[in-house]
Amino acid sequence: MLTRIDHIGIACENLDATVEFYRATYGFEVFHTEVNEEQGVREAMLKINDTSDGGASYLQLLEPTRADSAVGKWLAKNGEGVHHIAFGTADVDGDSQAIREKGVRVLYDAPRTGSMGSRITFLHPKDCHGVLTELVTAAPHEGTAGPASSSPSTTEH
């Protein structure tokens, strides 16, 4: 069962400048940063608030590290802005299978590793009214639901 909005992914041209905007304008601080070589992004997770299920909600800022990454291609086509929405779940495997059985295309055959060791998968935006949707289960060592990865390895956004 999906329990909350885990994060909203925002594609940006310059991660440092975008982080500074969110810090200076809204007071959001960086909770976590990493580079995901497989997905070709550098990311910063900005914690917005804690949630009643023990997790948190975040903004995930994504800067492509290469033009041929999914985020790089999306950014070239669409410019900066909201890239995807991610919902937290205790069971990414079960929920993605249940959603697949309802006719929604799940982009990964099996969930992959996301930020901070989370498990993630994506739902095809054409099946979700134009919204690239991510499902996230936090890593067990986190103890709470937490932020996830960046973007799928597909160019069909």
Alpha carbon distance 142, 138 (integer Å): 7
Is 37 part of the annotated catalytic residue set? no
Is 83 part of the annotated catalytic residue set? no
Give the active site residue among 7, 63, 83, 157.
7
Q: For residue 47, give every residue at least 6 positions away whose Cβ sits within 8 Å of its Cβ, in sequence order, or none.
A: 28, 29, 31, 56, 57, 58
User: Using an 8 Å Cβ cutoff, are 107 and 152 in contact?
Assistant: yes
Give the active site residue among 39, 83, 84, 157.
84
Give the active site residue among 39, 43, 63, 83.
43
Q: What is the mean pLDDT of each run of 10 residues along the chain (157 residues)?
A: 93 98 97 94 94 84 97 97 96 96 97 90 97 92 44 36
Is 43 part of the annotated catalytic residue set? yes
Neighbours of 33 (CB within 10 A): 13
pLDDT of residue 119: 94
Residue type, 133: T
User: Using an 8 Å Cβ cutoff, are 49 and 145 in contact?
Assistant: no
Give the active site residue among 60, 63, 83, 157.
60
pLDDT of residue 52: 76
Please name the fold of domain 2-137.
2,3-Dihydroxybiphenyl 1,2-Dioxygenase; domain 1 (3.10.180)
User: Using an 8 Å Cβ cutoff, are 12 and 63 in contact?
Assistant: yes
